[in-house]
Amino acid sequence: MKDIQISIREDLKQKPDQDHLEFGQHFTDHMFLFDYNSEQGWHDPRIVPYGPIVLEPAAMVLHYGQAVFEGMKAFNTNNGNVLLFRPQKNMERLNQSNRRLEIPEIDEEFILHAIQTLINVDKEWIPSGKGTSLYIRPFIIATEPCLGVRAAHNYQLLVILSPVGAYYSEGLEPVKINVESSYSRAVRGGLGTAKAAGNYAASIKAQTEAKEAGYSQVLWLDALERKYVEEVGSMNIFFKINGTVITPELNGSILAGVTRDSIIELLTNWGITVEERRISMDEIYQAHKDHTLEEVFGTGTAAVISPVGELFWDDRQIIINDGCIGELSQQLYDTITGIQTGMVPDTLQWTVQ
C-alpha cells in the first residue's frame, strides 16, 4: 500500500459545543488529499491541515460538474472503539459513480485505509453524545484547467470530516412530504444511480418550494410518467402495506442506498416479506383508502429512518398511522443505530473498526 504523508497542524482548532452540532457546519483539523494525472495515476496521498484548496478558474469541475461524493459515518462506542458502518459499500458506490462520470477508479481498500488513518488523526473530534457521529465526506473533482467538454485528465480526491449532532434530539419525528409533480430528480440513463453533485443541484428548487409550502421534503416520482415512486428527498423510501414491505426497485434512476440494502437484509432475516418493485401513487392512495397503508419511511445515512406522517399528492392528503411513528420504523431505527454504536450485537458483521 502507498505511504500516506501526514502533516499535523500546530494550531489545533477550537472544537464546537457537542450539544449544539448542526449538520455539516464544522470541520476537523485535517483532511486527506490524493491527486490523479494520466502519467502517474492516483499519487501523493497525504493528510494535511484542513483548509482552502487552490483551483484554477478553468478547473473543469467548476464548469461541467464532473464531481462525485460519498457520505458515511464513524461512531464512538461506549467502550472507546470507533466503528464505521459498512464502509466498503460506500467505496464500491464511489467507484460506481466514478465509472458513470468517466472519473478514474480508486483502489477501494486504500481509500478506506486513508479514511481510517484520517479519522485516527482527528479522533478527538468524534462526538460521543447519544445520536452523534463523525460524518465522513469523500469526494472527487475534475481539476484540469480546460473548457472543452470531455473527461478531464486531472482529478483530486479529498476526504473531509464533520462532527454531527443527533438527527433526532427527542426521538423519531414523522415528517410531512409533498409529492412532487413538476420537477424531476433523475431520469433513467441519467446520473440518478451515481452520487454525482449535479443530482443535488437538480433537486434544490423542488426542496425550496416544498419547504415554503410547509413540507419537510419532496417525494420524487419517475420522470417519464410521474406515476411511480422513486425516492424521498435524498433518501430511499419504504412502504408497509398489509404486513408487506415494498420499496422501489433499482430501476436505473434511483441511488442504491447502503441503509436501503441494510434494511432489506434485516427485514428478510426477521421473516418479513420485502418486495423490490415498481409502486405507483395510485396503489399507495388505494392502500390508504383501504386502511392497509401501515407505515412509510425514508432511509439514509443522515437520519437512518425518517418516518413519513403525511403525503400530499394531487390535492389529496394521505395521513399515515395517524401521523405517529410506526412500530417497524422504530424497531429498524433502534436496531441499526444499536449496531452502529456497538449496543446491539453485530451478527451481520456490518461494522469495521
Binding site for ligand PMP (CB under 6 A): 71, 231, 234-236, 255, 257-260, 299-301
Least distance between ligand PMP and beta carbon 300 (Å): 4
And the C-alpha cell for 91?
Answer: 467505496
- Closer to ligand PMP by Cβ: residue 91 or 141: 91
Question: Which residues 6+ apart lie within 8 Å of 20 measured at CB?
Answer: 165
- Closer to ligand PMP by Cβ: residue 260 or 288: 260
C-beta of residue 144 within 8 angstroms of C-beta of residue 151: no
- Closer to ligand PMP by Cβ: residue 26 or 73: 73
Least distance between ligand PMP and beta carbon 136 (Å): 12
Distance, in Å, from the CA atom of 23 to the CA atom of 26, rounded to the nearest integer, reads 8
Q: How wide is the angle at C-alpha 135 spanned by C-alphas 130 and 59, nearest 5°?
A: 165
Least distance between ligand PMP and beta carbon 39 (Å): 33
- Closer to ligand PMP by Cβ: residue 165 or 257: 257
Q: Which amino acid is at 61?
A: V
Distance, in Å, from the CA atom of 32 to the CA atom of 157, rounded to the nearest integer, reads 8
- Closer to ligand PMP by Cβ: residue 31 or 258: 258
**How far are the Cα atoms of 92, 111, 141, 189, 215 from residue 2, in angstroms, in the given order?**
20, 10, 21, 36, 48
C-beta of residue 256 within 8 angstroms of C-beta of residue 235: no
Least distance between ligand PMP and beta carbon 190 (Å): 12
- Closer to ligand PMP by Cβ: residue 36 or 167: 167
Least distance between ligand PMP and beta carbon 299 (Å): 6
Q: Work out the burial of residue 105: count CB atoms within 10 Å of its CB; fewer than 13 is exposed, 13-18 middle, 19 or more buried.
A: exposed
The residue of the chain with the least Cβ separation from ligand PMP equals 257
Question: Closest by alpha carbon to 152, among 109, 217, 104?
Answer: 104
Least distance between ligand PMP and beta carbon 29 (Å): 25
C-beta of residue 262 within 8 angstroms of C-beta of residue 86: yes
Least distance between ligand PMP and beta carbon 199 (Å): 6
- Closer to ligand PMP by Cβ: residue 66 or 234: 234
And the C-alpha cell for 86?
Answer: 459498512
Question: Terminus-to-terminus CA distance in the chain, angstroms?
Answer: 19
In 3-state terms, what secondary structure has residue 313? strand
Least distance between ligand PMP and beta carbon 234 (Å): 3
Which ranges of the chain does DSSP label H, i.e. alpha helix?
Answer: 61-64, 87-100, 108-121, 197-212, 258-269, 281-289, 327-340
280-314 burial, b for 16+ CB within 10 Å, e for fewer? ebebbbebbeeeebbbbbbbbbbbbbbbbbbbbbe
Least distance between ligand PMP and beta carbon 207 (Å): 12
- Closer to ligand PMP by Cβ: residue 111 or 235: 235
Question: Closest by alpha carbon to 97, among 196, 189, 185, 190?
Answer: 196
- Closer to ligand PMP by Cβ: residue 248 or 342: 248
- Closer to ligand PMP by Cβ: residue 178 or 259: 259
Least distance between ligand PMP and beta carbon 148 (Å): 29
